[in-house]
Chain A
Amino acid sequence: MSRLRAAWDLVRELAGERDYERYLAHRARYHPGEPVLGEREFWRERTDRQERVASARCC
């Protein structure tokens, strides 16, 4: 069961769904006590970043 759980988490991470969890973990570790973005704001900010940083896609 725990293996299934781990595999599902990996799929979610692959799809980028765990980014908010990872962000919270990052804030808790490096900036404890500071305010964090809400889930909605986080996703909005994350997509809007791509307006400024283009990621190359090959052929």
Chain B
Amino acid sequence: MVTTERPEGPGGRGTGSARRRDPRQIAIWTAVAVVGAVAWAIVAFVRGEEISAAWLVFAAVASYAIAYRFYSRFIARRALQVDDTRATPAERLDDGQDFQPTDRRVLFGHHFAAIAGAGPLVGPVLAAQMGYLPGTIWIIVGVIFAGAVQDMVTLFFSTRRSGRSLGQMAREEIGPVGGIAAIVAVLAIMVILLAVLALVVVQALADSPWGTFSLAMTIPIALFMGFYLRYLRPGKIIEVSVVGVVLMLLAIVGGGWVQDSAIGEVFHLTANQLTLALVVYGFAASVLPVWMLLAPRDYLSSFMKVGVIVLLAASILLAWPSLQMDALTRFASDGQGPVAAGSLFPFVFITIACGALSGFHALVASGTTPKLIQKESQVRVIGYGAMLTESFVAIMALAAACILDPGLYFAMNMPATVLGPTVETASAAVQQIGFTISPADLTAAAQAVEEQTLVGRTGGAPTLAVGLSTVFSQVFGGEALRAFWYHFAIMFEALFILTTVDAGTRVGRFILQDTVGNVWPRFKDTSWKPAAWISSAVIVGAWGYLLYAGVNDPLGGIYQLFPLFGIANQLLAAVALAVCTTLLIRTGRARYAWITLVPLVFDAVVTLTASYQKIFSDNPKLGFWAQRDQYQAALDAGKTSLGTAKTVEAMQKVVFNTTLDTALTALFAVLIVIVLADSVRVWITALNGRPLPGGSEDPWVESRIQAPSGLIATREERELARSGGSG
């Protein structure tokens, strides 16, 4: 057992002793509970009449408030025993750069900006094919008991370990095998993540001169901002960001003119041309100096993030749109969903990762944020609170998708190869799965947002953009601004994704350089050009290839690749939760290990079931290997077309892609089993009281600074600060 706990136990602010039942508090929380219960009842039980999307938002917010107030407090005080008399790494190791005590509100903003991007906007839209109810329940329940818990507990333990990364903690606390598996998992998920997100961009911008022009303009805008900050007025971040945002809005307006003008053709790119452009861009962004593209783009995207979320929440409350999608469609049970195959269990939990439980967050919650946190008790607002906020974004995205006419939703989200080339074939394909939309309505929907077509625009971004443009234009600007809002939504999603592509390629490059560096030390030097170029090319090549395969997949790239992305992300969550559980057990908190063990077991069952079905299912719609067999058999029999693959080459492509998909799924499943088996070994050893190597909690050092725990300081905290306690 580690005995670095302060002997007399936690506390220090004297709140534990003075717990009185405050009637006002009781009244407030009873009211919140009642609002939540009413909203949940409406969402879950009202059938046959349309309900407002705002009820989803109410159910979510009331649940978050209760979970934050009671569950996260329980975890922080009882299980983790956060200790504000203990100096955090930011205070102990303050070097003014990596380690620096940072205002909790500022850190909350930075942490949120780092965890939330396009992910919570895309997954819920795709999961809407099963109806709004499964997604809503998973997003809310998942975040409360799994996602936010993972983020907070990881953040806490990393804070107790000088901000060690997830991979380092896995190596030290579980062992070298689990540690290596964790690093391979991180690299693999990064590649899949970038490929799928880039695919979303390609699907949104293909044959759309307006969208392509607007997004292309962000490059000169970012360059301008970069030069401004470098040479003209260094450090003037707000003014340059405001200028950048205004220029971007102009670029969106300008896109409408460009589309109708002669130069529109220049920006009319096919999916394959866009793929090439993204790959070239990704490589350039990874090797160019940070100040030119990456840093300014990050500012733009953070500014947009705040604006969009506020706009979205306000619009849903003001426009009060009603949900058109059913609470539960038949795809939840029959697994024949046209957007991505597989039934509710386990695939709803795979499709919605960001917003409910996202393993990727553990990379931010360990490493960066813990080096800046002022007080241990702030893990609650930053770890748990920021994740609740991301979940709130996911709920709004789900609502925006479900207010669309289901016929239009499916016409947009079924693979283009299934829908066929015209609005008539698309209308017929939608009819086949039991929904209706007329060809005229499809044309009208595209015209309303001034796009050539909306048919087969998979990937979630265009669907969300149509939903948002409907809601926004009801509140601001009416029909006249429909097309503007559509392209505004496409633009910010693409902007978030490009930011992730920039940063992700660079992070992947660093991991690769570090790994190769163990064999060839010089390769570790991130400023050594050949190493930077080679490793960037490898990472970009890997996601670029998957992207290319996805764009040209006869079965539909999103249909095939999105489940892989979900499995990879949930795999990383399993690694993070396994590390958390190990740490709880090893640090003498075994009686609270269920806090992360229960979500870990659930997540492992989900991920392994999904991988199993993706590899071994006999149903060729669901199982990659069954697909491969089906197409190989057809090729062997001399057939020249099968299903949506109309040529021999297309059929060969399917065989190759499905083989690769099977291999990747199997790799993920093996990695998770390794990490779990290694963790269980450590748990048993620890519970039997046998000694274990490793383990590296920092020694207790007294804290000399004062800082509030919550986002808003309590009266006591303010008085303490005023009486000269602040450091």
A binding-site residues for B, Cβ under 8 Å: 10-17, 19-20, 22-23, 26-27, 30, 39-40, 42-44, 47-59
Given A26-B96, A58-B116, A15:B241 Cβ within 8 A: yes
Structural contact, B503 and A12, CB atoms closer than 8 A: no
A28 to B109, CA, bound (A): 27
Q: Nearest-CB distance from A49 to chain B (Å)? A: 7
Q: Which residues in chain B, 76-121, are within 8 Å of chain A measured between CB atoms? A: 94, 96-98, 100, 103, 105-106, 109-110, 114-120
B binding-site residues for A, Cβ under 8 Å: 94, 96-98, 100, 103, 105-106, 109-110, 114-120, 122, 193, 197, 229-230, 234-238, 241, 289-291, 294-295, 298-299, 353-354, 358, 360-361, 363-364, 367-368, 499-500, 503-504, 506-507, 509-510, 526-527, 569
The answer, among A47, A53, A59, for a CB contact under 8 Å with B193, is A59
Structural contact, B118 and A54, CB atoms closer than 8 A: no
Structural contact, A56 and B235, CB atoms closer than 8 A: no
A19 to B504, CA, bound (A): 25
Residues on the B chain within 8 Å of A40, using CB: 234
A40 to B291, CA, bound (A): 14
Residue contacts A-B, CB under 8 angstroms, 28 given = A10-B103, A10-B105, A14-B105, A14-B106, A15-B241, A17-B237, A17-B238, A22-B96, A26-B100, A30-B96, A40-B234, A44-B234, A47-B229, A47-B291, A48-B290, A48-B291, A49-B97, A50-B294, A51-B289, A54-B506, A55-B368, A55-B507, A56-B360, A56-B503, A57-B298, A57-B503, A58-B363, A58-B500
A9 to B119, CA, bound (A): 31
Q: Nearest-CB distance from B626 to chain A (Å)? A: 29
Known: A13-B106, A15-B299, A44-B230. 10 other contacts (CB 8 A): A22-B96, A30-B96, A44-B234, A47-B230, A52-B527, A58-B114, A58-B364, A59-B117, A59-B118, A59-B500
A37 to B197, CA, bound (A): 40
Residues on the A chain within 8 Å of B290, using CB: 47-48, 50-51
Structural contact, A13 and B103, CB atoms closer than 8 A: yes
Residues on the B chain within 8 Å of A58, using CB: 114-117, 119, 354, 358, 360-361, 363-364, 500
A55 (CB) vs chain B CBs: closest residue: B368
Chain B at the A interface: mostly helix, strand, loop or mixed? helix
- Most B CB within 10 A of own CB, among A17, A30, A49, A57: A57
Structural contact, A57 and B500, CB atoms closer than 8 A: yes
- Most B CB within 10 A of own CB, among A11, A15, A26, A39: A15
The answer, among B230, B234, B353, B506, for a CB contact under 8 Å with A39, is B234
Residues on the A chain within 8 Å of B234, using CB: 39-40, 43-44
Structural contact, B526 and A57, CB atoms closer than 8 A: no
Q: Nearest-CB distance from A34 to chain B (Å)? A: 12
A27 (CB) vs chain B CBs: closest residue: B96
Given A15-B241, A23-B96, A54-B503, A59:B119 Cβ within 8 A: yes
A27 to B358, CA, bound (A): 38
Q: Nearest-CB distance from A46 to chain B (Å)? A: 8
Structural contact, B295 and A50, CB atoms closer than 8 A: yes
A13 to B295, CA, bound (A): 16
Residues on the A chain within 8 Å of B235, using CB: 17, 19-20, 39, 42-43
The answer, among A26, A44, A56, for a CB contact under 8 Å with B364, is A56
Given A56-B503, A56-B507, A51:B526 Cβ within 8 A: yes
A39 to B114, CA, bound (A): 26
A38 (CB) vs chain B CBs: closest residue: B234
The answer, among A14, A30, A50, A51, for a CB contact under 8 Å with B109, is A14
Residues on the B chain within 8 Å of A30, using CB: 94, 96
Residues on the B chain within 8 Å of A42, using CB: 235
Q: Nearest-CB distance from B222 to chain A (Å)? A: 13
A23 (CB) vs chain B CBs: closest residue: B96
Given A39-B235, A58-B354, A10:B106 Cβ within 8 A: yes
Residues on the A chain within 8 Å of B361, using CB: 58
Residues on the A chain within 8 Å of B364, using CB: 56, 58
Given A10-B103, A17-B235, A56:B114 Cβ within 8 A: yes
B116 (CB) vs chain A CBs: closest residue: A58
